[in-house]
Amino acid sequence: MAVPGAEQERPDVNDAAVVGPSEVSRRHFLGRLAVAGAGAAGLALVASEAEATVVPPEYILGTYTFNQNYSLSTMTIESQSGPMIIGRFDDGTALEGSVAGARPGPVTLCFTRRTSDGTIQIFTGAIATRPQGTNKEALLTGVYYANGAGPLPWVATGTLRG
């Protein structure tokens, strides 16, 4: 018989003797699932905040005087969609690659070219820009590999369109 005003002892709902072992396992699983869900939601929130602070890459459309291992040509970056770039050299060979970073931080690029003789060239480098009147002057420089041989030097200068 219960005494009015006295606290009664409650059975432990996590005690297997009271609720059964399968119920304890189920509650333990659900508790872990809730913690994992909260963790996943927190990670999603952090990821969405990181996406919101991504700076678009430097815009590098333009025509460049291109010196590749002391051989001069013209290179044109014809289109840029986000980090992806597509262009062409004056001999008609295509280039495609990507640019990462934006001023005032470091800006890098990487692109590939397949020459008319089938040689695959992989270019990597850095970009520096400076204002020149209403335009920006650009200096691109780096190294490239031709069918695995290299590194060989390259440099390009030009005025960015925009």
Q: Which residue has the tokens 């031709």?
A: 146
What pLDDT, on the 0 to 100 scale, is given for residue 149? 92
* Burial (0-12, 13-18, 19+ Cβ within 10 Å), 138: buried
Instruction: State yes or no: pLDDT of 21 exceeds 80.
Output: no
Q: What are the start-end ranges of the E strands in 3-148?
A: 62-68, 71-81, 84-89, 94-100, 108-114, 120-132, 135-146
Report pLDDT digits (tens) over 46-56: 555 555 567 78
Q: Taking residues 115-132, report their average pLDDT.
A: 91
Please report, for the chain, the start and end positions of each structural domain, with discontinuous segments joined by +. Answer: 16-52, 62-160
Q: Cα angle vertex 100, ends 53, 142, to 5°?
A: 155
Higher pLDDT, 95 or 17: 95
Which overall architecture, per CATH, does domain 62-160 show? Beta Barrel (2.40)
Q: Taking residues 69-81, report their average pLDDT.
A: 93
pTM above 0.75, yes or no: no
